[in-house]
Amino acid sequence: MLLQSDTVLEKASTLKAEGKPFALVTVVRCESPTSAKPGAKAVVDADGNIEGWIGGGCAQPAVIDTVKKALKDGRARLIRVSPGKGGTVEEGIIDFGMTCHSGGTLDIFIDPVVPRPALLIIGASPSAQALAALASRTGFDISAAFPGVDKEMFPDATQLLDTLDVASLQGGTPAFVVVATQGKRDEGGLEAALATGSAYIAFIASERKADKLRSYLKERGHDAARVDAIISPAGVEIGAVTYEEIALSVLAGLVKARRLEGVAAVPATADSSATASTVAGAQTDVANTAIDPVCGMSVEMATAEFTSQYLGQMYYFCCAGCQRSFEKLPEHYLQTGEGSA
């Protein structure tokens, strides 16, 4: 007979092998009376299914809600479920109130495990090759597509497509697409990127060139909103000159989109009928979130419990502790930008 911890770890191993996101959830501290004790574990998947035991009716909703947020941004969290919500809470703990009558307290650590985000690089330019090398070392699963690509050009890629026909791309819709054709089949590269259904497409080109190609794509009948959403010039402005510097700039943009803007790292399904809703949903998620200026966490504005207005601007916080810290010294957090770390 398997122990509960064995079944939890087996479930985690199965989900990881299948490339499905989940969180390993562990009770790290309790104040009796509680049904779960320190060391109790569970695996929670993206749909909120729980394998294991980390507490009853009060703990589970808080855990499921936090797991879903953690799987979006890949950040671990420590939560507290207690009847004393609103009191003094240590920095770094997200406080949830307990509505049941047990009266105990649980501190629960939530550690997200997500697949490496899929990055499709379209093009065989030196910048494309440099980007593949850098991105593979920062946690991205690399695919490359363009006529003539080979393993020598992209030694770190898990998929190579010697074509611009991306229909055979495995793993469904990539989370990120970068078009790095740089003058060779730019139009075909952009159309291939749009065909993936990805919500994030960046194009390495000047703004003037990108505008001309956007007009071309619209004339070809591509959805205007998706065409306008193509990011170009790609990356973060760092004054890049060399191919390697351009790749570094583009990679910085990818990390920013993943960590700060909430672009989902988990690949969508390959069901083309769901492409439009997937893209629209991803854009809506980004538009409806804010960054806690104190800790840098992504906060859903519609459901945010902790907010503060300063100089006519509304700020959103993950917990009461961040809100109080901000209200004591708002200029400090806005000037230093600690929340972006």
Per-residue pLDDT of the chain (341 residues; tens, 9 = 90+): 445 678 999 999 999 888 889 999 999 999 888 888 999 999 999 999 999 998 876 788 889 999 999 988 788 999 998 876 656 678 889 988 765 556 788 999 999 998 889 999 999 999 999 999 999 999 999 999 999 999 999 999 999 999 999 998 998 899 999 999 999 999 999 999 999 999 999 999 999 999 999 999 999 999 999 999 999 999 999 999 999 999 999 999 999 998 888 676 654 443 333 333 333 444 444 457 788 887 666 677 887 888 999 988 999 987 777 788 889 988 888 875 544 33
* Token pair belonging to 221: 């009948």
Please answer whether residues 89 and 80 qualify as being in contact, where contact means their C-beta atoms are separated by less than 8 angstroms.
yes
How many other C-beta atoms lie within 10 A of the C-beta of residue 216? Answer: 15
Tokens of 37: 């004790």
| pLDDT given at position 107 | 94
**Cα–Cα distances in angstroms (integers) from residue 156 to residues 133, 143, 190, in the given order:** 6, 9, 23
Whole-number pLDDT of residue 131: 98
Q: How far apart are CA 255 and CA 270, in angstroms?
A: 24
Side chain identity at residue 130, one-letter code? A
**Cα 127 → chain centroid:** 24
Specify the 3-state DSSP secondary structure of 211. helix
The pLDDT of residue 99 is 52
Cα gap 321→87, rounded to integer Å: 9
Q: Do residues 233 and 210 touch, judged by C-beta distance below 8 A?
A: yes
Distance between CA atoms of residues 120 and 142, nearest Å: 6
Q: What is the reported pLDDT for 267? A: 46
Helix (H, G, I), strand (E, B) or coil at 9: helix
- The amino acid at residue 284 is T
The pLDDT value recorded for residue 86 is: 58
Distance CA 293, CA 137 (A): 29
Q: What's at 300, amino acid-wise?
A: E
Question: Who contacts 312 (Cβ-Cβ below 8 Å, separation ≥6)?
Answer: none
Distance in angstroms between the alpha carbons of the first and the last residue of the chain: 46
pTM, to two decimals: 0.65
The reported pLDDT for the residue numbered 201 is 98
Q: What is the CA radius of gyration of the chain?
A: 22
* Residue carrying the six token digits 């840098």: 296
The single-letter DSSP state of residue 173 is B
Q: How many CB atoms lie within 10 A of CB 161?
A: 21
H or E element at residue 94: strand 93-97
CATH annotation of 118-286 = 3.40.50.720
φ, ψ (nearest 5 deg) of residue 144: -135, 140
- Cα 225–Cα 228–Cα 231 angle in degrees, nearest 5: 130
Q: How far apart are CA 231 and CA 243, in angstroms?
A: 18
Strands ordered across the beta sheet of 77-82 = 50-52, 41-45, 22-31, 105-113, 77-82, 93-97
